[in-house]
Structure 1
Amino acid sequence: MRDTAPHAAAPGRRTLLGRTGALGAALALPGLPGCSAGPESTIDFGGADGPDRTLTAVVGYGNDGSWDPTQTASAFSMAANHHIYEGLLDTDPVTREPYAALATRVPADPYATVWPFTLRAGATFHDGVPVTADDVLFVFGRILDPGTETLVKGFFATWLKEVRKVDARTVELVLAFPFPDGLSRLTLAKIMPRHVFSRPGAWEDAVRGRAIGSGPYRQAAHHPKSNTVLEAYDGYNGPRRAAFRRMNWLTIVDAAPRVARISGASAGAQLSDNIPYANIGRLRGGGLTVAGGAGMNNLFLMFNTRHKPFDDVRVRQALRYAVDSRQLVRVALKGHGTPASSFLNEAHPDHRRATTVYDHDPERAKALLRAAGVRGLRVDLTSVNVSWVVDCLPTLKASWDAIGVRTTLSPQETTAVFTRLDQGRDYQVVAAASNPNQFGLDADLILRYNYGPANLWMRYARWAGHPVARRLFRLMDRATREPDPGRRRAMLQDCLDVVAEQAVLYPVVHNELMTAWDPRLLTGLRAQPYPGINLLRARWV
């Protein structure tokens, strides 16, 4: 989820725009119709009945983050981009199995070091221009360019050596070593039109919301902090055709109005993600389906390791042992979560209980603080304002207060928190939500999402230069290159043990995300274990 993310070597204007996407009014960009502000920005377009009626969906996250597919970690824009753009391969939103999207087939041998791809005949972008191999090279060139700051670079640069053009509709991906997990990662390389985004200033336009792809839906209107409208693209000839003529996606971050929008006989929307746990029973009683997806979604704590005393691992561990995570699950999450026993959630196939597990142990926490020579500690806990994260804050404060740590809670808008981090401003501890499953399921990807040596998370934590961090990064690289699956898994688990012990950026709980929809109107929906929605297989009843 946003709720953050990029991969970059140094802060700058593009990085800041890419992280926060801070916008004022609605966009008015060339080639982006309907992008004017106005009172119609959140109405439910279309009639109430018939196959051409508008689907109205509520997304519980902001739509004012970056829309650049190579850069964004915004839950809203990533979900929308999966409908607007295509990769050579895309993945099922739940199983994450790859399927042919812009390419005509999945490579037969995932262990090969050259993967050939032929583009789908007749594929066009939403402005009618044909998709060609040059567009593929354009996007991968940006991703692999060492001088370009993108989030997705960290998911490709270790194993993808180059992309070669064979002819106008054929490319070859050349791998540095066999890496079968790379097939599912190709959905992160959304193919964008070179003739649009190679122009001066075009990447900034993408950050602000301009989106032109080859997928089944085109962006018809975009109103930051309000809504985005998607329309079926009649020129689409791929495998997952649009089932809705028009979709109006509303962004409603606050829990109460989000629930109200899908409640009752006059509900203004047919589905919503990010359902508060306290509302599940009432919504089910009103005839809605409410389903959960358990995965890597988590509440994490991140420490500024250059702000004393958080440079001392004993202090970080003390604050982790102090947290009553089981009480947090019971009270704030209403049972829809699990205390972290690893960086990976317990249902992950590569999960192994970490050598350091932060079970609630206030006496151990006090002893660690004494050993570190820390007395009278005061902590300012900065947090994002995601509704379920805010619900967790009182338990965090009570846990730290109980060991004599005077705690101040500072919840802020998510964009404000990460703007502050992007600017390199000082902080002590941040509590926020994260979910690497937005990008994929494999353990290497999940680890690199937060612990890539040059990504923003490590810059935020100021830890990348630490000797333990440098040893961790070397072990991660060796694990990525390890050809034996069993050995590779063990090496990655060893990396996760280091991450657990150091407690620089680490989950407190993994929680279940809830999605609600009206089964009398919609079918083909499945709850995702990460923020956002995917309607590529959904349809009207």
Structure 2
Amino acid sequence: MSDPVSRRVLSRRDFLRYSGTLGTAAAISATVSACSGPASTGSAGAGADKDLVTAVIGYGNNQSWDPTMTASAFSMAANNHIYEGLVDTDPITREPYPALGTALPSDLAATTWRFTLRAGAKWHDGQPVTVDDVLFSFERVLDPAANVLVRSFFGAWLQEVRKVDESTVELVFKFPFPDALRRLTIAKIMPKHVFGAPGGWDAAKSGTAIGSGPYRMVAHNPTSNTTFEAFADYNGPRRPTVKRMNWLSIVDASARVAKISGGRAEAQIADNIPYANIDQLRDGGLTVEGGKGMNHMFLMFNTAQQPFDDVRVRQALLYAIDTQKMIDVALKGHGAPATSFLNAENPSYARAKTVYSHDPDKAKALLAAAGVNDLKVTLMAVNVSWIADCLPTIANSWSAIGVQTTLEPQDTAALFTKMDQSQSYQVVAAASNPNQFGLDADLILRYNYTSGGTWMKYTKWDASPAAKSLFDLMDRAAQQPDPARKLQLVHQYLDLVAEQAVLYPVVHTELMTAWDPKKLTGVRPQAYPGITLLQSQRV
């Protein structure tokens, strides 16, 4: 890849912060204008328009829109309506189905998988989807210099993607890897003529989205809303069910609830519903349902700073937390204490050998054994509403074992900008949900625990002997053909992650979605941030 932008190592800040001030090169200006239109930031009167779904998303739309780099809840949910992989998965059941490819591979144990592209597939600017687009997209995914976020999900097992003919590509594996089938949905195929142009990846990051999926982006107004319309030339398996969508970005919880409440509500669906408003919305005639998944608050320690290089100190701070009180008070009962890095509903779950139940006496003993007295901790945190609600419990719990705590909640982008700049920190509390990418344990662990990855750079831990043992176990598990033996190895590395407590969940939560069943049908709430409207219809 010759584009210098694509050769740059990108940080987590690149997909957390908004980069709309970056210029888009003239080479793609015509394409960008084809995907834009007059701004429509409001939704007044939208409730009566049966050709329009107005949705409220409780996360910002001003972070990266590059499918290879983003972990933004808003843009990832939107991209699932805009882009396709060779294979996609149902967002709820996770069952794979052919998307840009015409069929699923017949032998999942094979080390080469061949895909024929769907005839007549077009990009939203009218250009045909080609094999070269597929090669371009996977080159980006695998490029060690670009080192994009999703590379950690593919680099261990995917050797190369090569052209067979004008309609066929072949994926070559390093070893048999059946989990690749569901993972291919992460590798969204992107048009080379748009994003391969100079400045293309900066454009993707700052809001240019041109795919082959059922909906095309019409307008993007950072911090306000993003609008979509059905793509008339889409010929894939999941046809658009509504003509237009307007997704409002409303991070403030009370404003989000107000937008969907009452007889003149402008929106028909909202995600990230505050637990305190569930009964109110149900009493108002809305359906409010949730999904239990990986969504969690974690603590992350800087192991380059004493005394957090001592595993006993990290363990002590986790044992000290009154997690049940946190669930009862801050989460209104919609959570579960972490008993593994995975949530209990995950197919690979097993209770870890080390479980951080509330045990102040043990916490004090661990600190004493580590020779730590009068510990003062500055706990930096993202300002996500439910995370902020949990912080007082942590501070009170640490105070009970003699640890003085200063809470510093702040804007997510600001927090991780500091960390990208290698500013020193002690402990961070943040929210995460790798289920946005998938369910398998290997994927979930590699999101955080990848040698040289962003999160490991933050923790300063991945050069340690324990980290090397972890990475070795993960690679051995990925290459293990016997499912039972593979699961044993997974449980071994989950135990190691629990014991080391470098980046570890405190609590897994339930995410709630609300919608008006008199105006919108076919809604299936997700157990991870965002919404899916691919099978929903206006009434």
**Matched position secondary structure for 2:402:** coil
Task: Give CA deviations for 1:66-85 in whole Å, capped at 9, x if unaligned.
Answer: 11101111111100100110
> Aligned runs of 1:60-459 on 2, under 5 Å?
60-459=58-457
What one-letter code is carried by the residue in structure 1 that aligns with 2:228? L
Give the AA of the match of 1:364.
K
Aligned residues: 529
Distance 2:8 2:381 in 1: 23
Q: Distance in 2 between matches of 1:249 and 1:499?
A: 38
**Contact 2:395–2:407 under 8 Å retained in 1:** yes
Distance 1:422 1:35 in 2: 32
Q: Which residue of 1 aligns with 2:31?
A: 31
Shift of 1:19: 2.9
Distance, in Å, in 2 between the alignment partners of 1:37 and 1:333 is: 40
* Contact 2:15-2:65 at 8 Å conserved across structures: no
Which residue in 2 is equivalent to 1:42?
A: 41
1:19 aligns with 15
> How far 1:307 sits from its partner (Å)?
1.3
The structure-2 alpha-carbon separation of the partners of 1:45 and 1:238, relative to structure 1 and needing over 3 Å to count, comes to farther
Structure 1 residues 36 and 165, CA gap change in structure 2 (3 angstroms): closer
SS for the counterpart of 2:213 is: coil
Give the counterpart letter for 2:369 in structure 1: A
- 2:3 maps to which residue? none
Structure 1 Cα separation of the partners of residues 370 and 213 of structure 2:
55
Query: Does residue 478 of structure 1 match 2:464?
Result: no
For residues 15 and 262 of structure 2, the distance between their equivalents in structure 1, rounded to whole angstroms, comes to 37
Letter in 2 for 1:416: A
**Which residue is 1:460 aligned to?**
458
- Letter in structure 2 aligned against 1:341: T
1:146 positional shift: 2.0
- What SS is found at the alignment partner of 2:228? strand
Which AA in structure 2 matches 1:42? Answer: T
Amino acid at match of 1:312: D
Q: CA RMSD in A?
A: 1.9
In 1: Cα distance, 2:252 partner to 2:235 partner: 38
- TM value normalised by structure 1: 0.95
Aligned-pair distance for 1:23? 3.8
Answer whether contact 2:291 2:510 (CA < 8 A) is retained: yes
Identity %: 63
- 1:30 to partner: Cα distance: 4.4
SS in 2 for 1:374: coil
C-alpha contact (below 8 Å) 1:27/1:35 kept by paired residues: no
Output the CA distance in 2 between the equivalents of 1:432 and 1:320: 15
Return closer, same or farther for 1:201/1:266 CA change in 2, 3 Å cut-off: same
Secondary structure of 1:78's counterpart equals: helix
- The secondary structure found in structure 2 opposite 1:152 is helix
Alpha carbons of 1:236 and 1:90: their partners in 2 closer, same or farther (altered >3 Å)?
Answer: same
SS at match of 1:333: coil
Would the aligned equivalents of 1:19 and 1:419 in 2 still touch at CA under 8 Å?
Answer: no
1:32 aligned partner, one-letter code: V
Per-residue CA distance 1:481-535 (angstroms, 9 max, x = gap): 0000000011011000000000000000011000000100111111101001111
Q: Quick check: 1:242–1:536 contact (8 Å CA) kept in 2?
A: yes
- How big is the shift at 1:268? 1.4
Whether contact under 8 Å (1:45, 1:248) holds in the other structure is no
Name the CA distance, whole Å, in 2 between partners of 1:294 and 1:243.
Answer: 27
Q: CA deviation at 1:164?
A: 1.3
Structure 1 gaps of 5+ residues are: 1-10
2:13/2:420 contact within 8 Å kept: no
| Contact kept? 2:35, 2:125, Cα under 8 Å | no
**CA deviations over 1:23-69 (Å, ceiling 9, x no partner):** 4679986433499999x6521277543542x2110111111111110
Q: Which amino acid aligns with 2:81?
A: H
* Contact 2:31/2:194 (8 A) holds in 1: no
Q: Unaligned stretches of 5+ in structure 2?
A: 1-6
Q: Secondary structure at the match of 1:162?
A: strand
CA distance change for structure 1 residues 35 and 45 in 2, over 3 Å: closer, same or farther?
Answer: farther
Question: Using the alignment, how far apart are the partners of 2:33 and 2:247 within structure 1?
Answer: 16
Task: Give the 3 Å change call, closer, same or farther, for CA 510–75 of structure 1 in structure 2.
Answer: same
Change (3 A) 1:47 1:409: closer
| C-alpha distance in 1 between matches for 2:8 and 2:115 | 35
AA matched with 1:301: L
Give, in whole Å, the separation in 2 of the partners of 1:484 and 1:403. 46
Q: Deviations over 1:283-304 (max 9, x none)?
A: 0000101001001000100001
Q: CA deviation at 1:184?
A: 0.5
C-alpha displacement of 1:205: 0.8
In the aligned structure 2, how far is the partner of 1:463 from the partner of 1:72? Answer: 24
Alignment of 1:514-533 (within 5 A): 514-533=512-531
Q: Residue 437 of structure 1 aligns to a residue in which SS?
A: helix
How far residue 467 of structure 1 moved from its aligned partner, in angstroms, is 1.0
1:498-517 correspondence to structure 2 within 5 Å: 498-517=496-515
1: CA distance, partners of 2:517 / 2:419: 42
CA distance in 1, matches of 2:18, 2:473: 37
Q: Which amino acid aligns with 1:168?
A: E
In the TM superposition, residue 256 of structure 1 has moved relative to its aligned partner by 0.7
Q: 1:363 to 1:64 in 2, by over 3 A?
A: same
